[in-house]
A and B are shown apart, each in its own frame.
Chain A
Amino acid sequence: MSTTQLSSTLETGAAPKARSRRPRWSLIALLGPVTAFLGVFFFMPLAIMAVFSLLEPGLYGGVVWNFYADNFGRILGWANGPIEEFDPVYLSILMRSLRIALITAALCLLVCYPVAFWVSRLPPRRRNFCLFLITLPFFASLIVRLYAWVLILRPSGALNGLLAWLGISDAPVGLIYTEAAVLIGLVYIMAPFMFLPLYASIEKLDRGLIEASYDLGAGRITTFRRVTLPLTLPGIIGGSILVFIPTLGNFIVPSLLGGAQVLMIGNLIEQQFLQARNWPFGAALAMLVMSVVLGLLTLYVRATLRRQATDVPGKEAQA
């Protein structure tokens, strides 16, 4: 492996070396703006938020500069302060958020997998048109797309109208402000995030492998379970993570379609900042969301790197 890399370094990969000849000062000029901007307006805010999550909330908003671990305690169960008591409702909201995010990812997968398969088998022109149609709503306003579901799901909305017209049900079905409504809205806006990575891995799938599996006597289900599924796993995992992350902290969908019934952790954070004015508690909740997301990403990146590391010899052998 090192010898092939070596010869390619000597013959063609020599190009990057020439880059080191460029002057240092221009590098500093190129990187200066982004370093300064993200340093001040991205990392500093996150750092301040981390500090805030460990401060005592002021009585009428604001913070008191005392170390105060009970913000986390209030969520996780060890609070003992005079104003902070452990309230299982926060933990249950956190759990619900995790559950909803997981179910959303699973639903997106179920919805998108067959579609991705179907699109990948279309003739090129129609395939590109379908890909275009699937990515297009992504560019349409998010709030407008959610508003559409408010129109559909509310008691005097399109769905009940349709049901009444079909004669199935006259009594309005109360769909809005339920967890189902939140899930529908989330799946609707997240589906493209699942579709694209899934499609990428399904399209790469060599049809010959599936045929080889049939040829060796495997049935449809066995083939799917032992060939198709493992080979498209990277797309499945990638898509699930792309759906899970934004869903976990989402507060727009539950606030429009879930109302007060289906609070997610995003709504809780919003309330702490815009209504309860308990910033340290809100910051602690946000820290929690952030750690879940970063933890998940770290696991994902590690797994991907490990897979790439084990993949490399196989690729060399093919080449």
Chain B
Amino acid sequence: MKTLLIHVRKRLLTGYGLLFFAFLYAPILLIVAYSFNSNPINMMVWHDVTLDWYRAIFGLPHQLGDSELYADSTDQLLAAVRTSLTVALTTTLFSTLVGTLTALAVARYRFRLQGFYRFLLFMPMVMPDIVLGIALLIFFISVGMPLGTGSIIIGHCTFLISYVFIVVSARLAGLDTRLEEASADLGAGPWTTFRRITLPLIAPGVIGGAMLAFIISMDDLVITYFISGVDSTTLPVFIYGLIRRGIKPEINAIATLLILASLAIAAIGLYLRNKQHSATPATPDKTDPAND
């Protein structure tokens, strides 16, 4: 009787877990399904499989729907993609560089302001988006800096440096300092040691931080929303605008493509993470086949 009860309880828990996954994934799958539905009036009612919405967003000839909204917005969409990529790539490059330098300084030097710098880099991560967004807006207007790609890049870097810092710091903390000492001991100067030992060993952290920065930059809505100018809309802001203007089937197609893109990046990231070397020396075990 008691084992039966435990069994039922286990089943219940499993069922609940599966329900949770359904909750996570059903909405996303719904969009993907809708994006292929050819019913132009009510996307709830399934007509037929079509790729027309994908054609529509790229301005290709198609039969369905009123292309009124998207006739000129294909250009806007592509411009938004371009802006997003420009911003994300520049931001990734800059914040990865600065974040890594900072992590190196904090992990490998002893100085009085160490605690202060950890705090400094912690702040942007906990600052609510909306606060940072409007603070930056006020700042850019006050100093007379035009809003546009430049302001978005600066805005993203303010908090992405911290993300890179955290990821690289974690990697550095796992890096055995004796490896660097061994390199110096064998005659390598500080720069050689950095180039040939430290950098290769923290590379997975640096790449991981960079990919995180890229993904977050591509996805940021709130801060970008406040500090993007009229001519420089990023993809999330563009989609936000579309949704606010009304639900159109074409949005499903854009959304599906975006999901695919982020999944691809996440998959690459996880693949790289599995391939990386450990940053600690191989743990010696106590058996020696050569000797037995």
A interface vs B, CB < 8 Å? Answer: 15-20, 22, 27, 30-31, 33-34, 37-38, 41-42, 44-46, 48-49, 52, 111-112, 114-115, 117-119, 130, 132-134, 136-137, 139-145, 147-152, 154, 156-158, 161, 188, 191, 245-246, 248-252, 255-256, 266, 269-270, 273-274, 279, 282-283, 286, 289-290, 293-294, 297
**Known contacts being A142-B219, A293-B126, is A15 close to B181, with CB within 8 Å?**
yes
Q: Is B31 in contact with chain A by the CB < 8 A criterion?
A: yes
Q: Are A297 and B30 in contact (CB under 8 A)?
A: no
Known: A34-B161, A139-B262, A149-B27. A156 touches B221 (CB 8 A): no
List the 6 closest A-B pairs by CB distance, nearest first: A148-B27, A249-B128, A45-B139, A30-B105, A45-B135, A139-B266
Q: State in angstroms the CA–CA spacing of A58 and B178 once bound together.
A: 62
For A158, list chain B residues within 8 Å (CB). 30, 44
A-B contact pairs, 20 of them (CB 8 A): A17-B110, A19-B109, A20-B110, A27-B111, A42-B123, A42-B158, A44-B139, A114-B17, A140-B263, A147-B243, A147-B255, A148-B30, A149-B27, A150-B243, A154-B247, A156-B44, A269-B134, A286-B130, A289-B131, A294-B126
- Kindly list chain B residues whose C-beta atoms are within 8 Å of the C-beta of A119: 17
Taking a contact as CB atoms under 8 Å apart, the answer to whether A151 and B137 are in contact is no
For chain B, the count of residues having a C-beta within 8 Å of the partner chain is 77
CA distance A137 to B23 in the complex (A): 11
Residue of B nearest to A42 (CB): B158
Chain A residues lying within 8 Å of B142, measured Cβ to Cβ, are: 48
**9 additional A-B residue pairs with CB within 8 Å, beyond A33-B101, A41-B155, A44-B139:** A30-B104, A33-B98, A38-B161, A151-B30, A249-B129, A255-B244, A286-B134, A290-B131, A297-B126
Contact with A along B79-120 (1 / 0, CB 8 A): 000000000000000000111011011001111000001001
Check B221 against A249 for contact (C-beta < 8 Å).
Answer: no
Question: Quick check: is B148 within 8 A (CB to CB) of the other chain?
Answer: no
Does B136 have its Cβ within 8 Å of any Cβ on chain A? yes
Chain B residue numbers with a CB within 8 Å of A151 are 27, 30-31, 34, 43, 247
Q: Are A245 and B108 in contact (CB under 8 A)?
A: no
Asked if B124 and A270 make an inter-chain contact with CB atoms under 8 angstroms apart, the answer reads no
User: Given the known A-B contacts A118-B16, A139-B263, A147-B31, are A252 and B131 also in contact in the complex, defined by CB atoms under 8 Å?
Assistant: no
CA–CA, A115 to B107, complex, Å?
A: 36
Binary contact track B157-172/A, C-beta < 8 Å → 1, others 0: 1100100000000000
With both beta carbons as reference points, the residue of chain A lying nearest to B12 in the complex is identified as: A114
- The reply to whether the CB of B199 lies closer than 8 angstroms to some CB of chain A is no
Q: Are A148 and B123 touching (Cβ within 8 A)?
A: no
Contacts of A245 in B (CB 8 A): 126, 128
B99, B158, B244: the one within 8 Å of A41 (CB):
B158
Contact A141 B270 (CB under 8 A): no
**B13 nearest in chain A by CB position:** A118
Query: Which residue of the partner chain, among B20, B111, B120, B244, contacts A38 with CB atoms under 8 Å?
Result: B120
B124 CB, nearest partner CB in chain A, Å: 6
Q: How far is the CB of B275 from chain A (nearest CB, A)?
A: 16
Contact of A273 among B226, B243, B251 (CB under 8 A): B226
Closest to A137 in B: B24
Tell me if B178 and A15 are in contact (CB < 8 A). yes
Select the residue from A49, A115, A137, A143 with max chain B CB neighbours within 10 A: A143
B259 within 8 A of A: yes
A20 to B112, CA, bound (A): 11
Shortest distance in angstroms between B122's beta carbon and chain A's nearest beta carbon?
A: 9
In Å, the complex CA distance between A312 and B38 comes to 64
Q: A139 CA to B219 CA in the complex, in Å?
A: 9
For B44, the chain A residues whose CB sits under 8 A away are 156-158, 161
Closest to B32 in A: A148
B240 with A252: CB separation less than 8 A: yes
Establish whether residues A16 and B110, one from each chain, have CB atoms under 8 Å apart when the complex forms: yes
| Interface presence of B147 (CB below 8 A) | no
